[in-house]
Structures are given as structure tokens and as C-alpha cells.
Amino acid sequence: MQTNPIKIAIFGAGSIGCYIGGRLMSAGADVTMIGRPRMQETFQSHPLKVTDYEGFESGQSLTGDQYTTSADAAAETDLVLVTVKSAATREAGEALAPFVKPGVPVVSFQNGISNAERLRDTMPEATVIAGMVPFNVLQQSPGHFHQGTEGHLMAAADPALEPALPWFNNAGLPLELRDDIESVMWSKLLLNLNNPVNALSGVPLLEELSQRDYRLALAMAQKETLRLLKQAGIPTVKLTGLPNALIPVLMSAPNWIFTRVAKQMLTIDPVARSSMWEDLQAGRPTEIDWINGEVVKLAESLGLKAPVNQKLVELMHEQEQNPRPWAPESLLNTLKQA
């Protein structure tokens, strides 16, 4: 345990932010979470509890200083983690800019590819660093956040993050610094292409992935994305037990093969669901434009099309207005016609 607690502000503390904050608090870090009044009200009557699929559990009641709604709480901090939804990135940067001291590292732990760049536009004096959260977090009950899938945090290599690394290690959330963060983010996005499939299915991740037609739908989106990345000259990196080119092959395999191989390469808690499903349940806009929509934008930049990912974007926007579960065969047939 470190003798002088690092001061960390987490801006946009919803499921991911509260989970990371709770883990860091368990290691003795001085954490202030900044979020919406609704979550602040939750912690006035419920403790913050964080658990994971391996049996970790920690909890504590939060003080008014540990969860606030005001961005000025990010002043005098050593590190800022931004965990807002992608649509709120510019708003987050504008709110933080007056308070974050020049040179303080600001890590974008968000979905998508371009959020760190957009934060830099609004926080030119901060050291903005792209990061990646590979695991799924679900709010199981008020104040209780559960990590349901495996993986460790990554961020672009930057000396400004070195002092924080022991705190992440002590919290059981090791932060790996990478020189190839763009490839890391595209590789994570390749896995996140399952978010809309899971949200459309309406069932937990494990149940969804156990049905081959859902996996075939996902494989179509992944193959399309891999072709575009190759065309654009963007390399990918292995984040699971399989090379990325083989992931859609595994997704297309018969159930008995998939089940056997998947157990060896990825741990998924039976209760885990995608954040996109959680957004639908809460009546919030999803991040579809920053996940499958990123593939569509990549295709457009190459003068090409991405019909499968474009269709998933359209289906999710329809789902935001009129949510209904999609049967596996119906979803697969719809994508085949795209």
C-alpha cells in the first residue's frame, strides 16, 4: 500500500466509473467521483459495493465529498478518469477544462475511437491520454456494480501515468501502458460489435453467445470490420486467446466447438450484459454511433460501405424508440439482406 494516497477524480461516474472508483478506494486511493444527481441520491441511501466474477467484493458508504455533481472537484487532483458516454465527451471536456491543472493526466476510459481526440480539443492544457476498458460492468442493484467479464485496463504509454500504476495494481485493476493504443482500441471495438447484438437479443451475454444465429450475426459485423481495417492499413492486436482474424471463425462455429473453445479464451459471468442493453433499459440513448458507427465512418473515409454495421446502427436507433427483443434467426436474416 502506498503511503501518500493518489488523488483521483472520475468524471461521469456511472457503472464503469463507480466500479473503477470502488476498486481504487479499496486500495486506499483518494477518489472523488463526479456524476449525475440521480446516482448521488442513490449513494445517500446505499453504500457503494463492487464485486467481480472471481469473487472480489468491497463496499463502503460514501461521504458527500466522495460523490459529487460538480466538476470543480477535479481541481487539485493527480489524475482524472473520464468515463462518460461518448455523446457527452465534449460536454465533459468543457466542464473539466477550467479546473484540471495543466499537465495533469486525463484518461479517456470510453468506448469508440475518437473520444481522446475530442477531449484534447476542449482541454488543450491537460495531458489527455486514450484508454480502454475491456470488461463489462453491470449495476445489479442500487449502488452495486459487478464486473462480469475478464480483461485489464490499458492506456497509451505516457510518463504522466507512471505514479498511478501501483495504485491500480493494488486495486486488482492493473493498468497496462501501450505504444499501440489505436490498434488496441480498434481491437476492442471489434469485440464491442457484440453490444448491439446483445442489446437486440434482450438476454444475458452468455445466453446470447450460446445461440449460433446471434453469433453468426456478430461474425458478419466483425468480418466486415476486419476487411475495412485491412484496407485502411490499421493493424489489430490480440486481446483474447485467439488472433482477431479467427474470432469471427469461432463465432461461426457449431455450438459444441464454440462452447469448448470459448471457455478457454474468455470468462463471462452468467449475469453479464452489454452496457448498450443497460442503456435501453434505462431509456438512455445508446453508444451505437461510436461503436458500429465508427466502422461506418471508416468505410466512408475509404469510399466504401459497411452495410452490416450500418444496419445494426439503424436497428439500434429504432430500438431506442421502440424496444423489442429480436429472435436470433430474424436478426441474422435481416443482416443478410443489408
What phi and psi, each to the nearest 5 degrees, are found at residue 49? -125, 130
How many Cβ atoms from other residues are within 10 Å of residue 227's Cβ? Answer: 13
The low-confidence residues of the chain, meaning pLDDT below 70, are 1-3, 264-267
d(C-alpha 185, C-alpha 71), whole Å: 27
Report pLDDT for 10: 98
Q: Helix, strand, or coil here: 50?
A: strand
Query: Is 184-336 a CATH 3.40.630.40 domain?
Result: no
Closest CA to 66 of 137, 108, 109, 13: 13
Q: Where in the chain is the domain with CATH 3.40.50.720?
A: 7-179
Q: Where in the chain is the domain with CATH 1.10.1040.10?
A: 184-336
Name, in order, each residue with C-beta under 8 angstroms of 294's C-beta and a sequence gap of 6 or more. 112, 113, 114, 189
**Is the C-alpha dihedral spanning 186, 191, 195, 197 positive or negative?**
positive
Q: Are strands 30-34 and 137-141 parallel, antiparallel or unpaired?
A: unpaired
Report pLDDT for 150: 85
Q: Which helix (H) or strand (E) holds 165?
A: helix 165-170
92: Cα within 13 Å, side-chain hemisphere: 31
**Is the C-alpha dihedral spanning 156, 132, 236, 286 positive or negative?**
negative
Give ∠ CA 320-210-243 in degrees, rounded to 5: 95
Q: Helix, strand, or coil here: 252?
A: helix
Name 156's bridge partners. 178
Report pLDDT for 1: 43
Question: CATH fold of 7-179, please?
Answer: Rossmann fold (3.40.50)
- Summarised one tens digit per residue, pLDDT across range 15-37 is 999 999 999 999 999 999 999 99
Name 267's bridge partners. none
Name 31's bridge partners. 8
The DSSP secondary-structure symbol of 27 reads: T
